Structure 1
Amino acid sequence: MSEIIEKADNFILNLFKDKLPNSFTYHNYTHSKRVFKSINEIIENTEVSEKDALILRLAALLHDTGYIHTRDGHEEESVKIAKEFLAKENVEKDIIEGVENCIMATKFKDDPKGKLEEMIRDADASHFGKEYFKEASEFLRQEYLLQDIEEYTPREWRDENIKVLSEKHQYYSDYALKNWQKEKENNLADLLKDRKKDKKKLKKEELKAQLKAKYKDLSPERGIQTFYRTALRNHIKLSDIADTKANILLSVNAIIISLVLSNLLSKLDSNPYLVIPSAIFVVSSTITMVLAVIATRPNVTRGEFTKEDVKNKSVNLTFFGNFHRMELSQYQWAIDELLKDRNYVYSSLTKDLYFLGKVLDRKYRILRWTYTIFVIGIIISIIAFGVSFAVFDPVGVEEVTNNIVPPTQQ
């Protein structure tokens, strides 16, 4: 490596290290060295003068220095930086002009003019014909993404690469055509193969989604399952609500009876007119508690079935009360028979819904009577207490108060 080449190498290394943002994952020192290596391949296998070889090597190292200032028009900035650097190093003017022309030739918009421009253009795009093409291409996609230039999806980026390799790019030098063109075509073939596979996969997924949506809407099976699922869930919720209501009544009336027995029972001997109101109060609360217990009291059936019941489809295997005394093997056999017949499954679910409805009807009818008796009992008890105090003992309230207040405070 000549002295000026070594100086140029150190120059771009320090320049990129100090001034190039980290978001340049492709256009960086690594890319410049890759182009430098590729131009050396071409030079070593092509007849060029030492002067032309020097121009090409300097252009390869300096061609992307303009990225430290701008992306658009970076070639012009690279020329300015290269001219300033080479002038300081007292490089001959014709070499500087040659480097300038080669840097400007890396613009893909214009066709190269002359042998040197073709060679530098091929070196700059050498990764198209290399095994590391996909890796280098991915670095460029990430650079666009990090700098908010363009956000390509992997599929969109693959299509863009196909377009570039098949329509926009070509190799010019004999060496590139002989040694890199074949690998470029292999890379293009791999991209096309990936796109074909992706299209088949996408088409298959779209067809699957369409069929799924179609049969989801048209199949009555799903609607039937939704009906049973919703109906059973609603029945279970209503049963829970009924049990909760019964438990509330049990708790409230248990507290009422405890208070009545602890506070009023000791006053009945001295205040006999309170017997009837207290009795009404206690009896209504007791009846309420009994009805609440009856409403929530479970009924367990015999829990057995025969093979004839299963074959005749007369037993509901979804309710535990019909099989809780059976052996596991017998129940497993019955379930296997059930699952063989879809109509039997739906029939069992229908029976389960029906009998759950019957249980709910019984619970809510008893609860209705329970709440009615509780409310009527409270009202009648209050009226009875009022009548007793007003008719039988006009000053009863005062006497009761005197009995309650301790002697030290009377």
Structure 2
Amino acid sequence: MMDCQRAETYVLHQLQHLSPTLYYHGLHHTLDVVAQAESLADAEGVVDVQERALLRTAAFFHDTGFLTTYQGHEEAGCDLARQALPSMGYTADQIGHICRLIMATQMPQNPGDSHLAQILCDADLDYLGRPDFLPISNTLLQELQARGKMQDLRAWQELQVTFLSEHRYWTRTALQRREAGKQAHLTAARAVLNA
């Protein structure tokens, strides 16, 4: 039996050790993704108990790779899941499924036909269509600046426009809830760039 509670407690404990300069990819982001994944699963009619447990565990683990690396954190998160989850009652098949969900969130997102992967991808970038888009995206800018990955604000605006243009939501629910908001943020970002 999967001991989901233990897996979640383990992740919450581990994430206390994240770098304080992960202004975007901190514990708050993981908790937001877990909450959005649950909300999307409800709206998308996912009722299977095991599927929900796998989705929730994947949401908790999806950014744990940041504990050890910035580039390739998805793979590192899968490594941690493979280490930690067997002792918590997860089978090799269940862990494989969780890792496929985590890897789907790698940019560019690639959930394929997996409904759970589509939900996790949409939960991960839910903020793109939300009213709190600007303050959240500013934390990502701070995080990239802290790593010397962003030259200036113009480069940042260009990245925002490209990212918002190329991003897509996968589930019907996320499209209904967030697409209009995301398009509004894209229009605003283009206006700043062309000002």
Question: What is the TM-score normalised by the length of structure 2?
Answer: 0.91
Q: Distance in 1 between matches of 2:185 and 2:5?
A: 34
Q: Distance in 2 between matches of 1:149 and 1:190?
A: 23
Look up the match of 2:167: 169
Look up the match of 1:4: 3
Q: Distance in 1 between matches of 2:80 and 2:138?
A: 28
Look up the match of 2:117: 117
Q: Distance in 1 between matches of 2:122 and 2:143?
A: 22
CA RMSD of aligned residues (A): 1.7
1:188-231 C-alpha deviation (Å, 9 max, x unpaired):
122233334xx2xxxxxxxxxxxxxxxxxxxxxxxxxxxxxxxx
Cα contact 1:66–1:75 (8 A) shared by 2: yes
The correspondence of residues 207-222 of structure 1 with structure 2, limited to 5 A, is: none
Look up the match of 1:130: 130
Any unmatched runs of 5+ in structure 1?
200-410
1:66 aligns with 2:96: no
3-state SS, counterpart of residue 103 of structure 1: helix
Q: Distance in 2 between matches of 1:61 and 1:164?
A: 24
Q: Distance in 2 between matches of 1:16 and 1:33?
A: 11
Cα contact 1:39–1:119 (8 A) shared by 2: yes
Q: Distance in 1 between matches of 2:52 and 2:98?
A: 11
1:257-292 C-alpha deviation (Å, 9 max, x unpaired):
xxxxxxxxxxxxxxxxxxxxxxxxxxxxxxxxxxxx
Deviation at 1:110, TM superposition (A): 5.2
Cα contact 1:55–1:98 (8 A) shared by 2: yes
Look up the match of 1:22: 20
Count the aligned residue pairs.
Answer: 192
Look up the match of 2:145: 145
Look up the match of 2:183: 185
1:316-375 C-alpha deviation (Å, 9 max, x unpaired):
xxxxxxxxxxxxxxxxxxxxxxxxxxxxxxxxxxxxxxxxxxxxxxxxxxxxxxxxxxxx
Q: Distance in 1 between matches of 2:93 and 2:74?
A: 19
Question: What is the TM-score normalised by the length of structure 1?
Answer: 0.45
Structure with bigger helix share is 1
Look up the match of 1:249: none
1:166-203 C-alpha deviation (Å, 9 max, x unpaired):
1x21001111111111111122122233334xx2xxxx
Look up the match of 1:318: none
1:157 aligns with 2:156: yes
Look up the match of 1:35: 33
**Counterpart residue type for residue 122 of structure 2:** D
1:134-173 C-alpha deviation (Å, 9 max, x unpaired):
11111011111112233332x331221111111x210011
Percent of matched pairs sharing the same residue: 26
| Structure 1 stretches of 4+ moved >4 Å | none
Q: Distance in 2 between matches of 1:108 and 1:178?
A: 22
Q: Distance in 2 between matches of 1:152 and 1:73?
A: 24
Any unmatched runs of 5+ in structure 2?
none
Deviation at 1:121, TM superposition (A): 0.9
Deviation at 1:98, TM superposition (A): 1.3
Cα contact 2:164–2:186 (8 A) shared by 1: yes
Cα contact 1:62–1:78 (8 A) shared by 2: yes
Out of 44, 49, 57, the position equivalent to 2:42 is 44
Higher relative contact order (CA 8 A, sep 6+): 2
The correspondence of residues 181-330 of structure 1 with structure 2, limited to 5 A, is: 181-196=179-194, 199=195
Q: Distance in 2 between matches of 1:152 and 1:11?
A: 38
Cα contact 2:64–2:80 (8 A) shared by 1: yes
Deviation at 1:4, TM superposition (A): 3.5
Deviation at 1:37, TM superposition (A): 0.9
Q: Distance in 2 between matches of 1:41 and 1:110?
A: 20
Look up the match of 1:84: 83
**Counterpart residue type for residue 115 of structure 2:** K
